[in-house]
Structure 1
Amino acid sequence: MLAMNLAVRKPMSLAEFLEWEDRQELRYEFDGVEPSAMTGGTVAHATIQGNLAVAIGGRLRGKPCRFYGSDLKIRVADDHIRYPDGMVVCSRVDQTAKVVHDPVVIFEVLSPSTAAKDRIVKAREYQATPSLKRYVMLEQERIGATVLVRAQDGWSALILKDDDALDMPEIGLAIPLAEFYEGLAFEAQPVEDNDRPPPTTA
């Protein structure tokens, strides 16, 4: 019988992670145990992020709430650190701050490699973050979104399609969903077999 020597890595503390990440060239998220590197995205992902900043940031000018992009990290439940694709904060944030603690709305642009974590892991973390009222997950390959809204017993889910508007009463905005996809063209989605009309006979 072979004896296996497994190296047990001591979990990082939040303070250790923040100090360590400060010395890195890349951005890292933190799940309470170890860091994970943030990978690069697609042109579609970057376009949607840019449209978010223009559509929301522009409408919030002169108002108490402010939009921030993915360069700023947030501290969520259980001392986890995330870099959402966008967020709105309505409390005062110090100009030298590197971590935000109380986002009101968070945006994530879904991709095949992150969708499961965004829909499940982060949804749980964000639900346990008291300041957060609305979590918006934007599709990348079509116009559409899943919106989780804080309810008394957890999240209430909304599904938005291309001709819907994203209503955000927490920050006083309602924006057509298609505006976040400006500059992108999508191929028509294939018709499911059950939706096809029956063949005609001569």
Structure 2
Amino acid sequence: MEYTIEDDDELQTSILREAAVAYGKSFFTEKEYLSFEEKHLNKFEYYQGQIFAMAGAGARHHIIFKNVFGELAYKLKKKKCQPYGSDLRIHIPENTLFTYPDISIICGSILPSVFDAETGTHPTAIIEILSNATRDYDKGMKFRLYRDIPGFKEYVLIDSETVAAEVWRPAPEGERWLCKKVNNLSGALFIKTVELSLRMEEIYEGTLLHD
């Protein structure tokens, strides 16, 4: 298995995407956002007073999610750290972001947001499944916002367009984040937070993607 290591300097120029629709207001409070979400079937993000429509997911995204979440749920049964799917909204009080990670790994009890008891905070690790529509945001600004989470230790990115995965962890000195990449089906993705290896061929099973 071949890994490469790099820091996150290239991510610093990424910016948050523009709000998809103005929704008739220029600024929303957190409570107004939560009320807005209750009235809509689709999922929306919130950041610093603005509401953003979330991109939809394709077939390969759903297949990869099923493969990864199923493996984590099975191997982590009755463990301290548990995986939660994209139905769990996450709030980051440090920067105001509300979002729906594809998979959040939370160790211990879910700490609720002060704005909503059903919204979680402080995941230890997050897994995002990349598509062409979300890749730049997930690898750029969203990653920067996730790093504001106290105790956040691992960010896993799995591409749904090609066989490629990245695992980001803070460097020992704590100033930078380092990346380990896996780009072949014979490799494995190690999630240190839960001490588990996921085989790439199992992650991509059913997607028809090849090295």
1:175 aligns with 2:192: no
Matched residues in 2 for 1:150 and 1:20: separation? Answer: 35
Q: What does 1:88-167 align with in structure 2 at a 5 Å threshold?
A: 88-93=105-110, 97-151=117-171, 152-162=174-184, 163-167=186-190
Q: 1:59 aligns with which of 50, 62, 75?
A: 75
The CA deviation string for residues 71-94 of structure 1, in whole angstroms up to 9 with x for no partner, is 111112411011111111112127
Aligned to 1:82: 99
**Structure 2 counterpart SS, 1:45:** helix
Aligned with 1:22 (options 22, 38, 42): 38
Q: Report the AA paired with residue 201 of structure 2.
A: A
Aligned length: 181
> With structure 1 as the length reference, what TM-score do the two structures score?
0.82
Note the C-alpha offset of 1:169.
2.3
Question: CA offset at residue 187 of structure 1?
Answer: 5.1
The alignment-based identity, stated in percent, is 28
Do 1:143 and 1:181's aligned partners in 2 also have CA atoms closer than 8 Å? yes
Matches within 5 A, 1:184-199: 184-186=207-209
Comparing 29-38 with 58-67, greater Cα deviation is found at: 29-38
Q: Does 2:51 match 1:35?
A: yes
How far apart are residue 38 of structure 1 and its match? 2.3
**Runs of 4+ displaced beyond 3 Å:** 94-97
CA RMSD of aligned residues (A): 2.1
Q: 1:108 to 1:23 in 2, by over 3 A?
A: same
Give the conservation status (yes or no) of the 8 Å contact 2:110–2:121.
no
Distance 1:12 1:106, change over 3 A: same
The farther-off stretch of 118-127 and 152-161 is 152-161
TM-score normalised to structure 2 length: 0.79
SS in 2 for 1:51: helix
Q: Partner of 1:78: helix, strand, or coil?
A: coil
Q: Relative contact order (alpha carbons < 8 A, sep ≥ 6): 1 or 2 greater?
A: 2
**Residue 120 of structure 1 aligns to which amino acid in structure 2?**
G
Offset at residue 97 of structure 1 (A): 4.2
State whether residues 67 and 88 of structure 1, in contact with CA within 8 Å, keep that contact through their aligned partners in structure 2. yes
* Cα deviation digits, residues 85-143 of structure 1 (max 9, x gap): 11111121279942110111111111111111101011101111122111111111222
Query: Following the alignment from structure 1 to structure 2, what is the Cα–Cα distance between the partners of residues 22 and 131?
Result: 29
Distance 1:94 1:146, change over 3 A: closer
